[in-house]
Amino acid sequence: MSDTTIATAASVAPASTETVLSVENLKMHFPVKGSGIVRRTVGHVKAVDGVSFEVAKGTALGLVGESGCGKSTTGRMVTRLYKPTEGKINFEGTDIANYSGKQLHPMRREIQMIFQDPSTSLNPRHTVGSIIGAPLRIHKMVPKDKVLDRVQELLEIVGLNPEHYNRYPHEFSGGQRQRIGIARALTLQPKLLVADEPVSALDVSIQAQVINLLQDLQKEFDISFLFIAHDLAIVRHFCPEIAVMYLGKIVEIGDRESIYEHAHHPYTQALLSAVPDVKQAAIGGRRERIRLEGDVPSPINPPSGCHFRTRCAIAKDICSVVEPPLLQIGKKHKVACHFPGEIHQHPEKPVTAPLLGVDEFGAPDPGASPAEVPGDGPGYADTWYDLANNSRGSA
Amino acid sequence: MTDLSKTPEATPAKGGAFLSVRDLKVHFTTSDGIVKATDGLSFDLERGKTLGIVGESGSGKSVSSSAIMGLHRGTNAMLSGEILLDGVDLLKVSNEDMRKRRGRDVAMIFQDPLSAMHPYYTVGNQIMEAYQVHNDVTKREARKRAIEMLDRVGIPQPDRRVDDYPHQFSGGMRQRAMIAMGLINNPSLLIADEPTTALDVTVQAQILDLLQDLQRDFDAAIIIITHDLGVVAEMADDVLVMYAGRAVEYGPGKEILTNPEMPYTWGLLSSVPDLTASTEAKLIPIRGNPPSLLNPPPGCPFEPRCDHTAKVGGDLCRTTLPDLTPANSGGSHVKRCHIKNADEVYEAEILPEIAPDLVED
């Protein structure tokens, strides 16, 4: 392993590296069928409704949000377990969104997945050796008589005893089973790993072991991660870049510091304030937090305009009329809000109105001319909207 | 066994506590031998106070609280010790008497509200049943009370939602309905077993707020079982850390989380990332796996995973189970560890790892 791979794979975001995955305006609408014989489609669950992001080589993008926000669906579309309704999934330059099963076969080597629950994602009637060896046999990666050697090598990489290839999943503990799942995902030496809540089913002391293992593997094999989790502290630890999702859309995306220190979206702020903190013990009592009332609205009938407005403390008239675009407000920071700002510093007037050609109540403004919204794409633009001066900024 | 059965001398035997658990043991006979799920647990809890129990899966947290609820009756579990609730030993009362107390004096909120609620009955029916069992009321009155409780826990349009089935509720609403069911008889002791583990952070915050509001209104004692130290830090007055069926550290929450003196607690604190820590640092996991409760070794149960055994010297850790002794920081803080200067070790070795910003002062 050379020094250069270590440098790019470190947990800090590399300045600019090759993009492995670029997702553009990805949508997944599940049909809702009516009752009766004909079972007509009566509506759609808009599980994912137009998300765009990029994952650079050897880094990790974290997807966070409440359950039902579409983060797992996004992961499953990237691995092409689902066929997207609309949008592009560019993996190393090729759009795999509409690939057929046959075309996908070679792609499966490159994109692998780690599942949440290690006890249900491993076949109980197969030995560990057969589970980990299956991808090798299917993809004919190594000659048949070498499969066992490779399986033992993988078991050793993930910190299990190579002699245990003959055991069944139930003979392992939860943490060990998750290691088996990781070994299986590594067999084909993928370039991108989609990890869907890889540690949330594990005990705290075991969580840290698995996270450390994933980080070591990332460094050693230069793997990119799409890391889906609802634990904000774990995501902060693992991912240099984070996207916050709400009701099928990305509401804020940016590097670690932008999201955790300078969150501009009221939803991100509420999420962060809700995390219980161990350090609170020294102070006593509960932390000051932003209370979100009610539940996430149904994705069948999402609210008009901004999806978050029904639970937002700073929502105004414009929020119910016009949907806020994902506006780039920093070098690596985009936010979808009409009133972006740090806590208690949200602007009075919608900063997005002039860009969209509407007045501050959301009605079309004949005087204004709609401008191009900076940041309307999967990556980051070189210029962005500077909130302090209400003008274009750049690096 | 005889040696272990003496009450740990360090735990103050307060007579007046509302709930007083003394040397509780829950053993299960299996074909492989006796599983000592809880082995000599003692704690006290006052009204209006919250006790947080932390530990890994299999450390005996849930088994102990089920014992307080009397849920081991009719199973092959062997219980010994005392569970004094308001002076009455819950282990000695008859099944019929326990049935009357369950739900009225002691109520429990389970971890997964989807599997804890009956899918075939409406939410309202299940809440009403809990009320009708203990109160001689008509169906109409019970329904009124159920709607009142649903409203109290913040379910919108409770008069309509009362006729919904559990699957029609979202996860957070189901947990609220469970809390409504648990609190409908104004129990004086509420056991919440991982009440927020299956929930999102925003909903978790709502549920914790709700529990605190209700505790204030009803002056209930709450036992909150969790593995999330953040939740414990914000909710609990007292903290009990369990490992392999025993208390390994017990005391006021602030003491336990700011001056822990037991390597297992150190491990728990250093293995969770927080929202302000440096991301360059690696997480420090506790190595190995939790021990089997079948035939536990004679020494400290944490010894095989402990990095600090060298500080004790000899093979004391391997041969002798440490007693619960008062911690060096004083007060009612007790720990089960052989290390003499645990407070100094914590300051010198552990604190710089988990909170470098606190070391300077």
Backbone phi and psi for residue B255, each to the nearest 5 degrees, phi listed first = -60, -50
For residues A105 and A128, what is the distance between their CA atoms, to the nearest angstrom? 23
Give me the amino acid identity at B307.
D
- For residue B151, tell me if it sits in a domain: no
Highest mean pLDDT, choosing among A247-251, A352-356, B272-276, B288-292: A247-251
Q: B73: distance to nearest CA of chain A, Å? A: 29
Architecture of domain A3-246: 3-Layer(aba) Sandwich (3.40)
What CA dihedral angle connects A188, A193, A197 and A202, to 10 degrees? 50
Backbone phi and psi for residue B46, each to the nearest 5 degrees, phi listed first = -95, 165
Average pLDDT over residues A112-117: 88
Cβ distance B230 to A236 less than 8 Å, yes or no, reads no
Q: Does the pTM of the predicted model rise above 0.80?
A: yes
Cβ distance A294 to B156 less than 8 Å, yes or no, reads yes
Band (pLDDT 50/70/90 cuts) for residue A37 is confident
Q: Which residues of A touch B271 (CB under 8 A)?
A: 204-205, 207-208
Quick check: A151 pLDDT over 90?
A: yes
- A149 by Cβ neighbours in 10 Å (0-12 / 13-18 / 19+) ranks as exposed
Average pLDDT over residues A136-150: 90
Q: Which residues of A touch B357 (CB under 8 A)?
A: none
CA angle A2, A91, A10 (to 5 degrees): 30
List A residues 307-346 in contact with B (Cβ-Cβ < 8 A): none
Inform me whether the C-beta atom of residue B286 falls under 8 Å from chain A C-beta atoms: yes
Top-confidence residue, B25 or B290: B25
- Which residue in A has a C-alpha nearest to residue B286's C-alpha? A205
Contact A204, A234 (CB under 8 A): no
Average pLDDT over residues A17-23: 88
Cβ distance A208 to B286 less than 8 Å, yes or no, reads yes
Number of Cβ pairs < 8 A linking chain A and chain B: 138
Q: What tens digit of pLDDT does each residue of A308-347 get? A: 999 998 888 899 988 998 989 888 999 999 999 988 888 8
Quick check: B104 pLDDT over 70?
A: yes
Q: Which residues of B touch A66 (CB under 8 A)?
A: 200-203
Per-residue model confidence (pLDDT) at position B275: 78
Per-residue model confidence (pLDDT) at position B162: 93
Top-confidence residue, A282 or A83: A83
Whole-angstrom distance between the N-terminal and C-terminal Cα of chain A?
Answer: 34
Contact B49, B237 (CB under 8 A): yes
Q: How many CA atoms lie within 13 A of A44 on its CB side?
A: 10
Contact B17, B188 (CB under 8 A): no
DSSP tag of A8 = H
- For residue B347, tell me if it sits in a domain: yes
Inform me whether the C-beta atom of residue A281 falls under 8 Å from chain B C-beta atoms: yes
Backbone phi and psi for residue A152, each to the nearest 5 degrees, phi listed first = -65, -35
Inform me whether the C-beta atom of residue A5 falls under 8 Å from chain B C-beta atoms: no
Cβ distance B273 to A175 less than 8 Å, yes or no, reads no
Inform me whether the C-beta atom of residue B252 falls under 8 Å from chain A C-beta atoms: no
For residues A283 and A266, what is the distance between their CA atoms, to the nearest angstrom? 26
Q: What tens digit of pLDDT does each residue of B200-224 get? A: 788 888 888 888 888 988 889 999 9
Q: What tens digit of pLDDT does each residue of B313-330 get? A: 778 888 888 888 898 877
Report CA-CA distances (Å) from B303 to A106, B202, B240, B315: 48, 38, 19, 10
For residues B264 and B286, what is the distance between their CA atoms, to the nearest angstrom? 8
3 state DSSP class of A57: coil
Inform me whether the C-beta atom of residue B285 falls under 8 Å from chain A C-beta atoms: yes
Q: Where are the domains of chain A?
A: 3-246, 268-394
Q: Which residues of A touch B272 (CB under 8 A)?
A: 204, 207-208, 233, 278
Listed in sequence order, the residues at least 6 apart from B143 whose beta carbon sits closer than 8 Å to its beta carbon are B124, B128, B162
DSSP string, B233-302: HHH-SEEEEEETTEEEEEEEHHHHHHS--SHHHHHHHHHS--SSS-SSSPP-PPPS-PPPSBS--SS-TT
Cβ distance A237 to B279 less than 8 Å, yes or no, reads yes
Quick check: B309 pLDDT over 90?
A: no
Quick check: A392 pLDDT over 50?
A: yes
Q: A296: distance to nearest CA of chain B, Å? A: 9
Contact A166, A127 (CB under 8 A): yes
Q: Which of B227, B254, B290 sits opposite A281 (nearest CB)?
A: B254
Band (pLDDT 50/70/90 cuts) for residue A185 is very high
Quick check: A1 pLDDT over 60?
A: no
Give the mutation candidate from B262, B279, B351, B358 for the A interface (greatest A CB count, under 10 A): B279
Query: Alpha-carbon Rg of chain B, whole angstroms?
Result: 21
Band (pLDDT 50/70/90 cuts) for residue B4 is very low
What's the token pair of residue A249?
């859309």
Cβ distance A232 to B201 less than 8 Å, yes or no, reads yes
Give me the amino acid identity at B55.
G
Average pLDDT over residues A53-72: 90
- For residue B299, tell me if it sits in a domain: yes
Quick check: B197 pLDDT over 80?
A: no
Strands (E), B160-230: 189-193, 221-226
- B107 by Cβ neighbours in 10 Å (0-12 / 13-18 / 19+) ranks as buried
- For residue B354, tell me if it sits in a domain: yes
- Quote the domain boundaries for residue B263: 253-358
- For residue B134, tell me if it sits in a domain: no
Give percent of chain A above pLDDT 70.
92
Quick check: A3 pLDDT over 50?
A: no
- For residue B177, tell me if it sits in a domain: no
Other C-beta atoms within 10 Å of B188: how many? 19
For residues B258 and A323, what is the distance between their CA atoms, to the nearest angstrom? 46
Cβ distance B201 to A275 less than 8 Å, yes or no, reads yes
Inform me whether the C-beta atom of residue A235 falls under 8 Å from chain B C-beta atoms: no
Quick check: B13 pLDDT over 90?
A: no
Per-residue model confidence (pLDDT) at position B15: 52
Q: What tens digit of pLDDT does each residue of B132-187 get? A: 999 999 999 999 999 998 988 888 889 989 999 998 887 778 888 988 898 899 89
DSSP string, B83-143: EEETTEETTTS-HHHHHHHBTTTEEEE-S-HHHHS-TTS-HHHHHHHHHHHHS---HHHHH
- Which residue in A has a C-alpha nearest to residue B231's C-alpha? A276
What's the token pair of residue A26?
């990805």
- For residue B63, tell me if it sits in a domain: no
Cβ distance A277 to B204 less than 8 Å, yes or no, reads no
Quick check: A251 pLDDT over 90?
A: yes
Per-residue model confidence (pLDDT) at position A125: 94
- For residue B294, tell me if it sits in a domain: yes
CA angle B190, B192, B197 (to 5 degrees): 165
Listed in sequence order, the residues at least 6 apart from A273 whose beta carbon sits closer than 8 Å to its beta carbon are A287, A288, A289, A290, B205
Band (pLDDT 50/70/90 cuts) for residue A15 is very low
Cβ distance A279 to B204 less than 8 Å, yes or no, reads no
Listed in sequence order, the residues at least 6 apart from B187 whose beta carbon sits closer than 8 Å to its beta carbon are B103, B104, B105, B106, B107, B220
Give the mutation candidate from A171, A234, A278 for the B interface (greatest B CB count, under 10 A): A278
For residues B128 and B126, what is the distance between their CA atoms, to the nearest angstrom? 5
Segment holding A89, helix H or strand E: strand A86-91
Listed in sequence order, the residues at least 6 apart from B327 whose beta carbon sits closer than 8 Å to its beta carbon are B249, B251, B255, B259, B261, B333, B334, B335, B342, B343
Catalogue the long-range contacts made by B130-138 (C-beta closer than 8 Å, 24 or more residues apart).
B130/B103, B130/B181, B130/B184, B130/B185, B131/B184, B131/B185, B133/B103, B134/B100, B134/B103, B134/B104, B134/B185, B135/B185
3 state DSSP class of A105: helix
Q: Which of B57, B277, B284 sits opposite A208 (nearest CB)?
A: B284
Quick check: B2 pLDDT over 50?
A: no
Band (pLDDT 50/70/90 cuts) for residue B6 is very low
How many domains does chain B fold into? 1
Per-residue model confidence (pLDDT) at position A369: 64
